[in-house]
Structure 1
């Protein structure tokens, strides 16, 4: 089966799963693929929103149900968890709406919310709204990135190299920023 057919067939499912697990890098890559005409941009945006919402909802409910489980206790000992909980106590609704956009809090915040006193009736609708904003915003950022690279991308092999580059460069850039900010604070 040709690579284009594989992307067309499984691309949105990969975006759906990847948005909840890996996040921005997968959705940005999906946006680049949409810009190249391999995926529909609104499909990428919808898959990103749904995947993100479902995974965060799952973490919330698992954390709520299994507060005393070792993986929840392990998460509560992370510095990012304490930071998320502090912000959550001060600004609960704003934190639920914004945690997807804050590096370092993306994965621990749904667990923090699940262990907090915030009711499901508050979290669920805000989680849906936040995911509905985040998915299209990140997908369109990838689309714009793909447009900027358009003159360099002439075939699918180049696109694959760019996607691999994005998946490698984004985590390295984040690590560099964390290292520099840690040294400035310390």
Structure 2
């Protein structure tokens, strides 16, 4: 079986891109740790994390533009809360697009609501890219710094990754499951 670091070096960027399409925080932090270890480049991890986050949000935004009313009606959330959110989005479009990825519980439903709220495509693309770049930089650098702390505490991280990676994957799945339950 190939060494774990070799697998990360070969498939790490695509894993970050795909992981950030759906759930990003855990993936970006692991990408930052991988950059700290020298298996991936820090700018490369930031780029692919930001790209994955931006593409995931763009997909949800486009679904919101096309099917927003039907999708929002099927959510288990209070319709009055959804309408209040839509009203805020209409009043503060740029801030809503930029900041939605930072608001826990709105990462998936937020772009749908924004798409259904009449925000223009190019405005969304611009502020979504700015938000994704900021988000990716913050979380990846946070993971990089966390890797520094882990290396000081645990020593050789590669030895510990055999249990850290499954633990992080389980945490990511749990967070995703919890988010879906709240929608």
In the TM superposition, residue 119 of structure 1 has moved relative to its aligned partner by 1.2
Q: Distance in 2 between matches of 1:5 and 1:154?
A: 16
Change (3 A) 1:160 1:85: farther
The equivalent residue for 1:52 is 53
2:61/2:114 contact within 8 Å kept: yes
For these two proteins, the number of residue pairs brought into alignment is: 171
Q: Check if 1:159 corresponds to 2:158.
A: no
The equivalent residue for 1:17 is 18
Change (3 A) 1:68 1:94: closer
Change (3 A) 1:67 1:42: same
Q: CA RMSD in A?
A: 2.3
TM-score (norm 2): 0.82
SS at match of 1:66: helix
Question: How far does the alpha carbon of each residue in 1:98-119 deviate from its partner, in whole angstroms, 9 at most, with x for none?
Answer: 1111111111111001111111
The equivalent residue for 2:111 is 110
Q: Distance in 2 between matches of 1:81 and 1:14?
A: 33
1:81/1:108 contact within 8 Å kept: no
Question: How far does the alpha carbon of each residue in 1:107-135 deviate from its partner, in whole angstroms, 9 at most, with x for none?
Answer: 11110011111111211111111111111
Structure 1 gaps of 5+ residues are: 176-186
TM-score (norm 1): 0.81
